[in-house]
Amino acid sequence: MILQSTADTLLLFNLSPGETRLIDRLVSSFALETVSLQINNLSEYRRTDPKHQVCLVIFHVDAENNRQHLDIRQIRDHLGENVPILILIPAKNRKNIRKYLKAGADDYLLLPLNQDQFSVSFLILLEIGQTMAHAQRPQTSQDSTFAWNRLINPFRAGESYFSPRTLAGNRKTEGSFDKWEKLHRLGLGGFGVVWLVRETGTGRLAVAKTPHSPALNIRVLRSAAILKRLIHHPGICQLLEVVKHNGKFILIQEYINGPTLQELLKTRISARNREDYFSQLLSAVAFSHNHRILHRDIKPENIMISKTGKLKLLDFGIARDLSWQGAGKSSEGTLSYMAPEQYAGKSCLASDIWSLGIILYIFTTNAVPYQLYNDEYPEDMEEELRNRAPLTINPKIDRELDRIIMGCLEVDLEKRYGNGHALQQDLFKTFPLFGSGELLPP
């Protein structure tokens, strides 16, 4: 193993001893140096230690100092745009969040710290900061590189989903969007623009999701954190890297060469393929739910099928990590696949089950369970669903399958499957051969 010629450094401002110990635990296996500074020592530090490459700043806001945004601006001015800044904000100062972000902070966490939330946000920004730092300096034979899939999170043993650069490894990487050549636009939405891009040198295709403005950076980072936690499941579209360009964080994700499920539904899908697709989708959702991730927008447009028949669940843009955050009170999602409680701003893991029920209903009947003629749920939703149970459309459908579908579409949350694992268990216990194509109508 070869040591770095330039030291990667974390700068810590105003952190408590407990917060510093937490960071030391998180980076104990990395070739990193942590330096605690006062803001008035920053200029001197930069002048006397030019070889120390700052890759992340953690700044603890002083609850009694109303001018901390000026300190954040000073840090940003000294270090440039590409060094991520994570700020820790006392609850009484939450009204100043926008001021801190405008001054140059990239992400924030409210105090007291949730260790799970902090570890994920910290490691996401550390990886971005190291990648950006690596891109800015010339390659040398002594540069250390990424060692992927290391177990470094002591709070989530068994989930090796981060890849900060360590002393070993031989995978070269760059952290600039300049290495991605835009080929053509794939889509445009309320969040931003989606491009098909190609990596220079390797020719690898990928998808770049660029937000409309830096104001959406927090949402990008939250999505990246969720995708990192789910990196080990083959049915979830993988995050390749996050880069910062023109002040905006950009998600670079794997490119899936194939149609969306929505496009496939316009063709004739064999019973075997429908069962196989649903099995793969259920596996991905169950995995997400086991990690307390709520997707909130499962629909055919967000599901892609590769040329080899592998399913990928996309777009965790409005997903929530329930291990440290609430489900949110907004009614974001797609109405036709949205559970009633989600529409009311009371999402839970079972809300994703409703979306799965809609898809399985369509796979079974080639129809939708209800029609929405405006932007509101009908008051008699429960009765409408009963009147359009799969068996009423096709009496040949297995009664147990009808039961399972209607169990996904229970308006009463007490009667609906609580999560993907519960649905998965019942489905495969009832139909051990589900996926063979013998259950769904041809």
Quote the CA–CA distance of 220 and 316 in Å, as a whole number. Answer: 10
Q: Which residue has the tokens 């270090």?
A: 79
* Sheet with 180-188, side-by-side order of all strands: 180-188, 192-199, 205-211, 248-254, 239-245
Active site residue 178: no
| Three-state DSSP state, 181 | strand
Peptide linkage before 50 cis (omega within 30 of 0)? no
Quote the CA–CA distance of 63 and 310 in Å, as a whole number. Answer: 51
Quote the CA–CA distance of 385 and 367 in Å, as a whole number. Answer: 13
Q: Position 254: which residue type?
A: E
Does 172 belong to an annotated binding site?
no
Total residue length of the chain = 442
Token couple for 387 = 């009147």
Quote the CA–CA distance of 181 and 177 in Å, as a whole number. Answer: 8
Catalytic residue among 71, 297, 321, 352: 297
- 74: buried, middle or exposed (CB in 10 Å: 19+, 13-18, 0-12)? middle
Quote the CA–CA distance of 391 and 402 in Å, as a whole number. Answer: 6
Residue 311, H or E segment:
strand 311-313
Quote the CA–CA distance of 21 and 2 in Å, as a whole number. Answer: 27
Quote the CA–CA distance of 121 and 228 in Å, as a whole number. Answer: 10
Residue 60, H or E segment:
strand 52-60
Q: Position 353: which residue type?
A: I
b (16+ CB within 10 A) / e for 412-428: ebeebbebbbbbbeebe
Token couple for 107 = 């992400």
Which stretches within 85-244 are classed as H helix? 97-103, 115-136, 217-229
DSSP code, position 302:
G
| Whole-number Cα distances in Å, 397 to 364, 401, 404 | 8, 7, 12
Residues whose CB is less than 8 angstroms from the CB of residue 145 and which lie 6 or more positions away in sequence, other chains included: 134, 165, 169, 170, 171, 172, 173
Query: Residues comprising the binding site for ATP?
Result: 209
Positions annotated as catalytic residues are: 297
